[in-house]
Chain A
Amino acid sequence: MRRKQIVQPSDPAAVATVVMRLYVAGGAPNSVQAIANLEAICQQHLKGNYQLEIVDVFEQPLRALADGVIVTPSLTKLSPLPAAQVVGNLSDQSKVLLALGLQGKTP
């Protein structure tokens, strides 16, 4: 699988667009799962209000290293600050929501 970038246009009227980068290892099972899990979370909790870049570490390993990524899949929230990271296939939704700063907003 060669997925390069999925960029959702953000709503200019909204306050804080969540900017994320997901490092994946090609079409490896946990990576495929991480993409699906994250897309579901974004669709449900962020509506259109996010930017997600998916980076394949087999295509851009140096970029991952420069970003301090050790294992993939690895999700980094770049903004709003503070930055946060979640490693793994993102099956633990509450952990992802916490990292994205969305925990308190969903009862």
Chain B
Amino acid sequence: MTTTRPVSKAESAHPEAEVAFAAFIRRLAHDAATLRAIKSGKVDAILDPASGRAILLPEAREALRRGAAPANQILATLPREEYQRLLAAGLEPVTLALGEVLHEPGELIRQIYFPNESLLVSLVTRIQNHGALEIALVGSEGMVGLPVAQGIGTASVRAVAQGTGTALRMEAARFCEALGTCLALQRALHRYTHALIAQITQTAACNRFHQVEARLARWLLMASDRLQSNLIRFTHEWLADLLGVRRVGVTVAASALQQQRLIQYSRGNITILDREGLKASACECYQKIKDIFDCA
């Protein structure tokens, strides 16, 4: 899926005011460390000792005006007025914690979620006497609760948050209502549905034919793409559950990848050290799923 990230520049009808404001910010940020922090784009506001007020930086102001720039790639492709219509209809930010269940099979989907890049959600199916198996991974490229968009109110799988992260969520009924008037969102969700089915299809074959080490490599790459980070927070128990193998199987596979210096893991943390190397260790499924997402 191609991403058209909104350009975070304050739009102003008065360029002189904008220049003056930039100079004002520079005056407040008189030391090098503060200037660096502002340039990094990782800060939002600056304190003005003279007025005793906090002042939003232009990027943050613009993001808030838009209702926070959507980090979710489906939302990011929408025209601004369509996104704002969704916000007005009740799309709201939410923080989810590790293990939080967003929907259970056979139950009504009450909320739909658009994960931000900090959140991974696993779609998991359970087989009696065999435990759970992940059938798809949803992150900032997708949406949780997709059946709702097709007029289906009941979930067929469990959706569970993999670690703490943020998302935008909306009540299913209100989402359905809003979707009727959001043509760009309809198109984006058609593309995503296609890509998700492809992911599930490939995962089904992968789980049957590919070795744990290659599947672990695939999973780490997919997670890393969605988190836009080389750091993945995870435990062996979770991974074993997701890959449908015993914990020891994950330990052996992770050790092998670590010995090749492709990843480094410590309790709950996996860092990808060598992305290209990990790609070479992953099964073909990673690239196949990625290609379909990129083209969709």
A residues near B, CB below 8 A?
Answer: 1, 24-33, 35-37, 39-40, 43-44, 57-58, 61-62, 64-65, 69-74, 87-89, 91, 93, 106-107
Contact = CB atoms under 8 A, between A and B. Distances in A.
A43 B98 CA distance: 9
B200 interface: no
A91 B63 CA distance: 19
A44 B233 CA distance: 9
Interface residues of B, number: 42
Contacts of B266: 106-107
Contacts of B164: 36, 39-40, 43
B171 interface: no
Contacts of A33: 118, 166
A72 B54 contact: yes
A57 to B, nearest CB: 4
7 pairs of A and B residues whose beta carbons are closest in the complex? A25-B45, A28-B44, A88-B42, A57-B54, A28-B60, A25-B44, A40-B164
A45 to B, nearest CB: 9
Interface of B: 28-29, 31, 33-34, 37-38, 40-47, 49, 52-54, 56, 60, 63-64, 68-69, 71, 93, 95, 97-98, 118, 163-166, 229, 231, 233, 266-269
Contacts of A40: 163-165, 233
B93 A37 contact: no
Contact of B44 (A62, A73, A93, A107): A73
B95 A88 contact: no
B29 A71 contact: yes
Nearest to A92: B42
Contact of B52 (A29, A37, A61, A91): A61
23 contacts: A25-B56, A27-B64, A28-B64, A29-B44, A29-B60, A29-B69, A30-B41, A31-B45, A32-B166, A36-B164, A36-B165, A39-B164, A44-B268, A44-B269, A57-B45, A57-B47, A61-B52, A64-B54, A65-B52, A70-B47, A88-B40, A88-B42, A106-B269
